Amino acid sequence: LQNDHKALMKQVEEALHQLHAREKEKHAKDEAEALAEALSRNQSLPQAFAKVNAVTPGSPASVSGLQVDDEIVEFGSVNVNNFQNLQNIATVVQHSEGRPLSVTVIRSGKKVHVGLTPKRWAGKGLLG
């Protein structure tokens, strides 16, 4: 009777080890898939070259829907490949006064398109 009990307990123990090993492998695989998905999601977003740190209420930027902490990916013809300094953006703004510009930003991990028309307003500059 003791021998039968020991043999049965050994089988139960081996089955438990296998069960936990499979569960551990499944958990590791799920984590790896989640990490890969997160990385691919990040890679699918284009690289930003500037970040909005202020938007004046009532300004053309505010009216267009631009928000603080938006990361600029494209500003008219300026993108990460041809951006050198903020003067590039100033030039595009000056040449586009009164005409809509296509601005693409990353907001909360999502790509968002904003139509921005630089124009004179009560405040400083053409954007605010």
Could you report the per-residue pLDDT of 49-82, keeping only the tens digit for each?
A: 889 898 889 888 888 888 999 999 998 888 888 8
Q: Are 61 and 116 in contact (CB under 8 A)?
A: yes
CA gap 86, 19 in Å, rounded: 59
pLDDT digits (tens, 9 = 90+) for 22-59: 999 999 898 888 888 777 766 667 788 889 898 889 88
* CATH (one of 3.20.20.100, 3.40.50.1820, 3.40.50.300, 2.30.42.10) for 50-116: 2.30.42.10
Listed by start position, the domains of the chain span 1-43, 50-116
